[in-house]
Amino acid sequence: MTGPEVDGRPASAWLAAVRESERRGELLAAYDIAERGLERYPDDVPLKHRAVLALARAGATEQAQKRFLDYGLADVADEDVAALNARIAKDRALAVNGAERRRRAAEAASLYEAIFTRTGGYYPGINAATMYLIAGEPSLAETLARRVRPLALAASGEPYYRAATLAEAALLLDDPAAAREALASAATLHGGDFAGVASTRKQLRLICAAKGSDPTLLASLWVPSVIHYSGHRIAAPGLSGRFAADAESDAAAKIAEALAAERVGFGYGSLACGADILFAEALIARRAELHVVLPFADEEFVATSVATAGPGWVERFRTCIGAAASVSHATEGAHLGDDLLYRYAAEYAMGLALLRARYLDAEIRQIAVWDGGPAAGDAGTAIDVATWKGKGLPLTVIAPRPTSARPSSATSTAAASGAIVGGGRHLRAMLFGDVKGFSKLKDEEIPIFVARLLGTIGEVLARYGSAVLFRNTWGDGIFAVFSDAQTAAACALELQAAIGRLDLVALGLPPSLALRLGGHYGPVYGVPDPVLGVANFFGAHVSRTARIEPVTPEGSVYVSEPFAAALALEGNKRFGCDYVGQMAAAKGYGSFRMYLVRHLGNS
């Protein structure tokens, strides 16, 4: 439940909706629902607890810590709430390496052990044991594991967590046979709580790594896999194409077989006639989650990419949209014959699939209905496959059967529209920034601001050289464009660090000055600017970026979900994107899912 179904109901209904999203591993939706519930019931501790837990499970450790303190949960004695504080300390420990990891792990272990001493609960006890192992104290870990084992055996309720605890204790005590038995039991008891299973798997893998145990013993406790799907549009009956109309049933059967073989539970892709809709129908049939990403508005998409195969496909499109767990639009703008929007939507879906697999600790794969031939324009199945393969990610290809019937009158989307392929738009990462407090500067402070603060920003941008495709400033405003999200993220964090190192008071500036940076990734026009006399970037996605910066806290870098997805698809291992929730953009521009960018490994 993510909509008005729970509006006006008691806090318990909101909590049930949160738990349902958690079960499916929709951690970001769970957090959003909890936040909405807290707007109606601001003192509800269970909702506060689940909101912070959702952030922690999603990897947004710093945001979880902030919310834990903001909600006043540090003063709550409840075991689950107190254990959440220890959980955050554990996640902070696991974000670093070496001696610092061991030191922080010991702190987390002490927090868990204090709760265990007070309550006798097996959950804080087993977590204390594992953290002592990570801290380099295996004897303490084994001692606690022996104490916890009988408590879990004797406990009532929560059968999945009892079984998971027994598996964890067995691993800590070097008893793989008992661990396998407990995991086999846990696999029958989780009831589809995939977020819980993911947490268990990650914890047990930590122990296996620390003790040198065989991680394959975790195989019985699995999470359904996540796929990105792609494929050719189907030809209308009697027309030629790379996917023949009379090959539909064969392709549908092969898609169903592939989904079953990979134990797919979550699928991300578009919804064009042919392969896309066949994938969507197969996902719905197996009660897997369908997440649709469309390149632009529904009606235009139907006209360009669905109705071409016949009216029956339009009805099937509507049915799939109605059954989808989520529907996102890569852009609100028009197609304008620009097939780049299809590629943008495909990459957005790929990034979302990768993010979901990361949250779920699940296997990830692309499954494509592809004839092996090249793409006809700026987008297509061949480009999707090449993008995926270029990241070294697993792929399954289903070959469709073409037809030799008379040629189709619309072999590509752009050709059908009569427009020029390409349309002049390019996928770019963009940053907008401004300096809080600038408007209150006195005239005598302006030259210092320009020379030292703007000068520092200019020095950072200069270090990126030609990687900065465009830069501009007006007053305290900054606009910079990059070809990829990783470079933009690196530059943004370097800008914040450089400004943070300035001694503003010594420079003669107010100490309250602070930089805010917002980022987005999307299609924009790169054209000569008749005013500036240089190439500049324009479009709705430039405006979207500008609306993110005003709601960004000073000293931070907030980015949109397409930016976070682009980072994931680029194979980023340098930066984390902590979810911060649905936030209203400036000037009534709507609400976006926002992420805080940070260096991985930093506290």
Same domain, 212 and 332: no
Same domain, 243 and 376: yes
C-alpha 497/C-alpha 552 separation (Å) is 16
**pLDDT on residue 410:** 38
Question: What CATH number is given to the structural domain containing 259?
Answer: 3.40.50.450
Tokens of 563: 């930016």
Final residue in a domain of this structure, among 417, 434, 454? 417
Same domain, 215 and 231: no
Same domain, 412 and 452: no
Domains in the chain, number = 3
Tokens of 77: 């004695």
Tokens of 271: 């919804």
C-alpha 461/C-alpha 480 separation (Å) is 9
Number of H helices, E strands in the chain: 24, 14
pLDDT mean values, one per 10 residues, the chain (603 residues): 58 93 83 92 95 87 88 91 93 91 96 96 96 97 97 92 96 95 95 90 94 91 96 90 92 98 97 97 97 94 94 96 94 82 95 93 96 87 95 95 51 34 77 92 95 96 96 92 96 95 95 92 93 91 89 87 94 84 70 86 51
Q: Are strands 289-294 and 326-329 parallel, antiparallel or unpaired?
A: parallel
Question: What CATH number is given to the structural domain containing 42?
Answer: 1.25.40.10
Final residue in a domain of this structure, among 417, 445, 464? 417
Residue 412: name the closest of 348, 312, 347, 337 by CA: 337
Same domain, 555 and 474: yes
Identify the domain containing residue 166 by its residue range.
4-220
Final residue in a domain of this structure, among 220, 249, 282? 220
Question: What CATH number is given to the structural domain containing 471?
Answer: 3.30.70.1230
In this structure, are residues 4 and 569 in contact, taking their beta carbons and an 8 Å threshold? Answer: no
SS3 per-residue string spanning 519-534 = EEEEEEEEEECCCCCC
- The H or E element that residue 50 is part of is helix 45-57
Entry pTM: 0.85
